[in-house]
């Protein structure tokens, strides 16, 4: 192949994907790969869903594109209605974009414009968590706490404060109850707000279940309720980034349902288009939207492809499938099966520290020592070795050497399609186990 396109990986060895069939991707040589991570938690319906394909053909025959500066469209309006029908209390406005970073960028800008409109221009600061990823555009990258992604761009990034993540496996002290631990780390937000000056802070942003920096780490019960209280006490907006964990991945359309909180802004993407089209969305409340509408009249933001009819048509079909086919209940059931199968296969392994997650969003953490939880030397790049061996065996899993407050740790993220069958759970777990054992033996 000629070498004009550049992307994420150094090319050379990348196979050419030519077909998708249910939970499998097939390359040009005919090799089949089980998509154990949905790419990066994207392909929630698998790769050849008949309903989404039909919806896309139908939309293409009628209308491919109409610019939102001139028109709205039936699929975009229907998608907003559908999302709001399932959204947390108080959330009733939708802003459509083309991906996760764009959704986070829009959330940060809307938060800022809101405070300008209501006469609090001094509120501009964002607080986030050290173990987090919110996207790669400059605003979203500034919010994220992923040290290596930020490093070389640091002079371009808006200053953001980072507090501790809620990461029970690593940070709960011996003898500390789960509840006390959750409150202790949530209270770091209050301390940081007070340090910065509450009147200068506009938003706190967090992932309900951390994805790309540490495979599938949910907060402990009570953590987000305390975070909500602190934000309310200080008039700060709560942004929940559900780009990875939202749209059914945890067994609820919005992951924050399980945490018992409603944010002021929610970002979603990945599973919303399920890989059939690139889409993201920012959801917010009438309170915030109305303040902006009453002031400048509109949100000072926008992209050419927002609300694209083809993209919205795909997302409508995805949501329809999730709801009508009862896939949320299936995610909870198969997620519990996957967790049990991982525990049975790897739970006693001397180098598996933690197996966790919610629904079909699971993480496996590798450690050099189970007792001390010491991670492996990052130079070993164990996560990358697991990915390579799994890929060779025909399994796609998402590796990461996430930053844990300065330490490195190796994690494998699993996010298979919601249609995963029991036998495929066995296939996933046995291939993953083989790859982990092989990587540790090398
Ligand atoms: N937020 C979170 C929580 C994510 O996981 C990601 C992508 N991994 C993003 C934002 C950025 O999304 P995108 O890659 O679609 O820009």
Burial class (CB in 10 A: 0-12, 13-18, 19+), 13: exposed
Is 149 near ligand 1, meaning CB less than 6 Å away? no
Pocket test for ligand 1, best of 8, 39, 44, 135 (most atoms within 8 A of CB): 135
> How far apart are the CA of 275 and the centre of ligand 1, in A?
13
CB < 8 Å & 24+ apart, contacts of 142-147 = 143/104, 143/108, 143/205, 144/213, 145/213, 145/403, 146/212, 146/213, 146/402, 146/403, 147/403, 147/406
pLDDT confidence tier of residue 148, bands split at 50, 70 and 90: confident
Mean pLDDT of 17-33: 98
- Fold of the domain spanning 53-324: 3.40.640
Mean pLDDT of 96-108: 98
> How far apart are the CA of 345 and the centre of ligand 1, in A?
30
- Residues of each domain in the chain carrying CATH 3.90.1150.10: 17-48+326-441
pLDDT tens for 344-380 read 999 999 999 999 999 999 999 999 999 999 999 988 9
Rounded CA separation 432/31 (Å):
17
Check residue 442 and give its pLDDT: 83
Is 40 near ligand 1, meaning CB less than 6 Å away? yes
Q: φ, ψ for residue 120 (rounded to 5)?
A: -125, 60
CA atoms within 13 A on the CB side of 157: 21
pLDDT above 70: residue 36: yes
Rounded CA separation 263/205 (Å):
10
Closest by CA position to 210, among listed 388, 39, 41: 41
The strand pairing partners of 140, in sequence order, are: none
Mean pLDDT of 104-109: 98
Could you give the angle at the alpha carbon of 284 between the alpha carbons of 49 and 301, nearest 5°? 90
Is 273 near ligand 1, meaning CB less than 6 Å away? no
- Answering whether pTM is above 0.90, one says yes
pLDDT above 90: residue 403: no
Check residue 114 and give its pLDDT: 98
> In CATH, which of 3.50.50.60, 3.90.1150.10, 3.30.1200.10, 3.40.50.1000 is domain 17-48+326-441?
3.90.1150.10
Pocket test for ligand 1, best of 43, 98, 140, 269 (most atoms within 8 A of CB): 269
pLDDT confidence tier of residue 201, bands split at 50, 70 and 90: very high
Check residue 384 and give its pLDDT: 94
* 338 or 146: which leads in pLDDT: 338
pLDDT tens for 110-138 read 999 999 999 999 999 999 999 999 999 99
- Mean pLDDT of all residues belonging to the chain: 95
For ligand 1, atom 5, name the residue with the nearest CA: 244
pLDDT above 90: residue 258: yes
pLDDT above 70: residue 240: yes
Is 134 near ligand 1, meaning CB less than 6 Å away? yes
DSSP code per residue over 384-431: HHHHHHHHHTTEE-EEE--EETTEE-EEEEE---TT--HHHHHHHHHH
For ligand 1, atom 1, name the residue with the nearest CA: 134
Beta pairing class for 280-285 and 91-97 = antiparallel
pLDDT confidence tier of residue 239, bands split at 50, 70 and 90: very high
> How far apart are the CA of 212 and the centre of ligand 1, in A?
8
pLDDT above 90: residue 392: yes
Check residue 13 and give its pLDDT: 74
**Which atom of ligand 1 is found nearest the CA of 207?**
3
Secondary structure letter of residue 253 according to DSSP? S
**How far is CA 50 from each of CA 32, 45, 57, 210, rounded to the nearest angstrom?**
20, 10, 11, 31
Check residue 10 and give its pLDDT: 59
Quick one: what percent of the chain has pLDDT higher than 90? Answer: 91
**Which atom of ligand 1 is found nearest the CA of 211?**
5
DSSP code per residue over 193-229: HHHH-GGGEEEEEE-SEE-TTSTTEEPPTTHHHHHHH
Is 100 near ligand 1, meaning CB less than 6 Å away? yes
Residue for token pair 């844990």: 404
pLDDT confidence tier of residue 406, bands split at 50, 70 and 90: low
Mean pLDDT of 226-250: 98
Is 216 near ligand 1, meaning CB less than 6 Å away? no
End-to-end alpha carbon distance in the chain: 32
Torsion of CA 133, 136, 141, 145, to 10 degrees: 30
Secondary structure letter of residue 98 according to DSSP? S
**Which atom of ligand 1 is found nearest the CA of 40?**
8
> How far apart are the CA of 209 and the centre of ligand 1, in A?
13
pLDDT tens for 207-229 read 999 999 889 999 999 999 999 99
Q: For residue 101, give both structure tokens.
A: 């970073």
Is 101 near ligand 1, meaning CB less than 6 Å away? yes
> How far apart are the CA of 438 and the centre of ligand 1, in A?
30
- Residues of each domain in the chain carrying CATH 3.40.640.10: 53-324
pLDDT confidence tier of residue 295, bands split at 50, 70 and 90: very high
pLDDT confidence tier of residue 257, bands split at 50, 70 and 90: very high
Closest by CA position to 136, among listed 116, 153, 124, 160: 153
pLDDT tens for 305-344 read 999 999 999 999 999 999 999 999 999 999 999 999 999 9
Is 114 near ligand 1, meaning CB less than 6 Å away? no
Is 137 near ligand 1, meaning CB less than 6 Å away? no
Whether the Cβ atoms of residue 271 and residue 247 lie closer than 8 Å to each other:
yes
Check residue 7 and give its pLDDT: 76
Is 278 near ligand 1, meaning CB less than 6 Å away? no
pLDDT confidence tier of residue 81, bands split at 50, 70 and 90: very high
pLDDT confidence tier of residue 3, bands split at 50, 70 and 90: confident
């Amino acid at each position: 192949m000629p070498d004009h396109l550049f992307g994420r990986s150094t090319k050379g060895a990348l196979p050419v994907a030519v077909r998708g069939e249910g939970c499998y991707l097939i390359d040009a040589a005919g090799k089949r790969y089980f998509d154990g991570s949905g790419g990066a938690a994207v392909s929630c319906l698998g790769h050849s869903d008949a309903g989404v394909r039909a919806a896309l053909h139908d939309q293409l025959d009628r209308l491919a594109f109409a610019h939102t500066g001139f028109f709205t469209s039936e699929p975009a309006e229907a998608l907003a209605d559908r999302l709001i029908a399932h959204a947390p209390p108080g959330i009733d406005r939708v802003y459509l974009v083309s991906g996760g970073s764009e959704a986070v960028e829009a959330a940060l800008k809307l938060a800022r414009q809101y405070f300008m409109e209501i006469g609090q221009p001094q509120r501009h600061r964002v607080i986030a968590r050290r173990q987090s990823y919110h996207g790669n555009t400059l605003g979203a990258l500034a919010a994220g706490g992923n040290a290596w992604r930020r490093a070389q761009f640091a002079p371009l990034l808006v200053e953001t404060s980072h507090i501790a993540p809620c990461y029970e496996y690593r940070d709960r002290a011996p003898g500390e109850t789960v509840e006390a631990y959750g409150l202790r780390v949530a209270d770091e937000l209050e301390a940081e707000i007070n340090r910065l000056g509450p009147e200068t802070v506009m938003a706190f942003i967090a992932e309900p279940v951390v994805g790309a920096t540490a495979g599938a780490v949910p907060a402990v019960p009570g953590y987000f309720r305390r975070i909500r209280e602190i934000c309310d006490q200080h008039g700060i907006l709560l942004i929940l980034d559900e780009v990875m964990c939202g749209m059914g991945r945890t067994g609820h359309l919005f992951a924050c349902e399980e945490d018992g909180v409603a944010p002021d802004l929610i970002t979603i993407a990945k599973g919303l288009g399920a890989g059939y089209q690139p889409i993201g969305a920012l959801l917010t409340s009438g309170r915030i939207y109305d303040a902006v509408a009453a002031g400048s009249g509109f949100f000072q933001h926008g992209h050419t492809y927002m609300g694209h009819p083809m993209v919205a048509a795909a997302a409508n079909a995805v949501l329809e499938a999730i709801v009508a086919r009862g896939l949320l209940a299936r995610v909870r059931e198969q997620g519990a099966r996957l967790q049990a199968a991982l525990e049975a296969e790897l739970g006693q392994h001397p180098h598996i520290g933690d197996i966790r997650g919610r629904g079909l969003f699971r993480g496996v953490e590798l450690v050099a020592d189970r007792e001390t939880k010491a991670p492996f030397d990052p130079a070993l790049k164990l996560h990358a070795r697991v990915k390579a061996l799994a890929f060779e065996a025909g399994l796609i899993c998402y590796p990461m050497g996430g930053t844990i407050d300065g330490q490195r740790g190796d994690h494998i993220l699993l996010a298979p399609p919601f249609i995963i069958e029991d036998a495929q759970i066995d296939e996933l777990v046995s291939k993953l186990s083989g790859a982990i054992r092989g990587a540790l033996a090398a």
